[in-house]
Chains A and B, each alone.
Chain A
Amino acid sequence: MANTTAEAPEKLGLLRVLGPAHVWALGVGIVLVGEYMGWNFAVGKGGAYAALIACWFAGLLYSCVAMIDSEVTSTVAAAGGQYTQAKHIIGPLMAFNVGLYLVFAYTMLEAANAITVGFLMDEVAKLTGHEGINQDPFIILSVMFLAWLNYRGVLATLTFSLVITAFAFTAVILLFLFSVILTGDSPMRHAELMTDLPYGWLGVLASMHFGLWYYLGIEGTTQAAEEVRSPARSLPFGTLAGIMTLLIAATLTWYVCVGLMPWEYLGQAGVPLFDAARLSGSTWLMVLLGIGTLFATLASANGCINDASRAWFAMGRDHYLPAWFGAVHPKYRTPYRSIIFLVPIALIFALGAPLDQVITFSILSGLLGYTFMPINVILFRKKWPLDTIKRGYEHPFHPLPAITLITLCSVTYFAVFLGYGTQLIAMISFYIVVSLWFHFWRYRFVKRADQFTMPWPRPRGY
């Protein structure tokens, strides 16, 4: 067997070929699906205005994430993103948890994407007079096809994603232009459709839960740290430009959707942008947004398989998980065992759980990751003050962004608690149990000094 395993020497570095535009595309590619589905559950939790407020506050949360993450990543410029940061700054158990946050956030997002593909096919079938088709084959086929693409190599995967993301983004812009600006008799009916806050200000807080869905995954840009030409410039620029793009796209999406359908329908819709195109009265816009929804979900699922499998692979390589997962395919140079292993997990949830639950699982894992970041940056500055190691980028106003981030995370925990408290407790309980399992059992298989590979001085206080 000619597999390259974790034990084999591997000193080949990744090629530094990416610029800020690639970083932008990487982030927006995974996240854009959030405009096509899922964000609208924020409307269901608090009403139309609440979803807009949540969109902007979630934008603030992610701006803090980008600022903090850019400083640490521009210094820990190694593949693995937040997982590698946690290993060097807090410790192995934190890294193990962060690795699991990444795997579950992305695998659940992948499952949500597959559910949306099935739902879209069902909607299209209904519109063409075929009621009650079985969605399962479409869900299974989309996950299997993308896993195969990832198995075969990263270049084809990324190229595929870039093309379909560009299409999906253009479709959102065209929907806005042709239903709001470039039309004589606009179908928008904001004055008649907008209502007061159905749950009052408590609903605004509650809608922060799904407000995260507008941007969830943008922090994945740090996964490319080792392949970016100038991390100090490209990572903050690309990530913040990505957040601004998504903020604009999210606001446009909100404006079009709430002007076209009652909030009660929008708050539970499976494919809201496709529904908006249907209500615009234009057949070509409906076809465009139907294809856009399909492409956005496939691009996102594709990126999710890529990121989740690499996080699982990295944990296998470090022996945080069985070393068997740390194998690279001898021909395609991909973490093929991790890719295959995560396929049935995604399918179990895509075929058996409702969309809002799957999205909640993904959001919760993401939220735990964002809570780690302020702890991470405060310890980073404490252990290595600014004059001890050179940062590629220093985020301003420290510790204000960290305090803002942890405050917004606390609000979002409360938002999830309102309506989805059982899932919140179940998921945290899971992380408590696996943390104990790691500390008291799995950690014995980990080589201690190998966990610290950066050329930094000894941390202060140790």
Chain B
Amino acid sequence: MARYIPPKQSKIGQMIDVIVLLILAIGALYIPLWMGLAGSSKTPVPQTAPTWESLGQNPTMVEKWNQLGFTDPAAASDIITARFDYSFSTGSLILMVVVIVGYFVMMVRLSDKEYREVISEKFGDR
């Protein structure tokens, strides 16, 4: 196999590549936060005039809350009642499996195509 000579990239081309990567990385990680879609599944259950008893706390727990600076049960109410919502649809679970498996299958296949070029140039054609 003839040795592949890569083109030389200009300074501007290098800068554009870095900017593209930055936008993709920050965008992918920040878009869920900006759209309010991230970590929103843990929500408190508000109580009117909560007491330690209504919040299900025994005397030892109350003592610990007090030591942690929560002397008023209303201040600790949101922390105590907040729960994750683990309900999910089969469709979203299937979507997750397809995305993850699809990603790895695509990557291994495309990598293999590139790898064959590397091996062919390194060891010569068979």
Chain A residues at the B interface, C-beta cutoff of 8 Å: 44-45, 90-95, 97, 104, 126, 189, 192-193, 198-199, 202-203, 206, 260-262, 264-265, 268, 275, 278-279, 319, 321-324, 341, 345, 348-349, 352-354, 356-357, 360-361, 371, 375, 413, 417-435, 437, 439, 442-449, 451-452, 458-459, 462
- Identify which of B14, B30, B96, B104 contacts A417 (C-beta below 8 A): B96
For the A-B complex, the count of residue pairs with Cβ-Cβ distances under 8 Å equals: 204
Q: B12 to nearest A CB, angstroms?
A: 11
For A451, list chain B residues within 8 Å (CB).
Answer: 118
Contact check, A322 vs B121: say whether CB atoms are below 8 A apart: no
Which residues of the partner chain B approach A442 to less than 8 Å between Cβ atoms? 17
* Contact partners of A97 in chain B: CB under 8 A: 107
What residues of B have a CB within 8 angstroms of the CB of A265 in the complex? 64-65, 68, 76, 79
**Beta-carbon nearest neighbor of B112 in chain A:** A91
Contact check, B88 vs A417: say whether CB atoms are below 8 A apart.
Answer: yes
Q: Is B95 an interface residue (CB 8 A)?
A: yes
Which of B20, B96, B115 has the most chain A CB within a 10 Å cutoff? B115
- B114 interfacial contact with A, CB 8 Å: yes
Instruction: Give the residue name and chain of the A residue nearest to B93 (CB).
Output: A417
The 5 A-B residue pairs whose C-beta atoms are closest, nearest first, are A91-B111, A430-B28, A91-B115, A322-B14, A192-B60
Interchain nearest-CB distance for A293 vs B (Å): 16
Q: Is the CB of A92 within 8 A of B115?
A: yes
Whether A422 contacts B38 by the Cβ 8 Å rule is: yes
- Return B103 CB to nearest CB of chain A, in Å: 5
Measured CA separation A264–B107 after assembly (Å): 41
**What's the least CB distance linking A3 to chain B, in Å?**
14
Q: Which of A91, A345, A357, A418 has the most chain B CB atoms closer than 10 A to its own CB?
A: A91
Contact indicator per residue, chain B 69-98, by CB within 8 Å of chain A (1) or not (0) = 100000010011011111010001101100
Identify which of B26, B88, B99 contacts A348 (C-beta below 8 A): B26
Residue interface bits B8-52, CB-to-A below 8 A is 1, else 0: 010100110110111011111111110001110110000000000
What's the minimum C-beta distance from A280 to chain B, rounded to whole angstroms? 10
Tell me the smallest distance from the CB of B111 to a CB of chain A, in Å: 3
Q: A426-B32, A431-B103 are in contact. Are A261 and B64 (CB under 8 A)?
A: yes
A452 touches B107 (CB 8 A): no
Query: Cβ of B99 and Cβ of A429 under 8 Å apart?
Result: yes
Highest count of chain B CB atoms <10 Å: which of A94, A279, A319: A94
Are B95 and A425 closer than 8 Å at their CB atoms?
yes
- The distance from the CB of B57 to the nearest CB of chain A, in whole angstroms, is 7
B99: nearest residue on chain A (CB-CB)?
A428
Pick the residue among A189, A425, A445 that contacts B60 (CB under 8 A): A189
Q: Contacts A90-B115, A93-B111; is A424 near B24 (CB within 8 Å)?
A: no
Least CB distance from A204 to B in Å reads 12
The residue among B24, B26, B102, B114 with the most chain A CB atoms within 10 A of its own CB is B114
For B3, B17, B64, B99, the residue with the greatest tally of chain A CB atoms inside 10 Å of its CB is B64
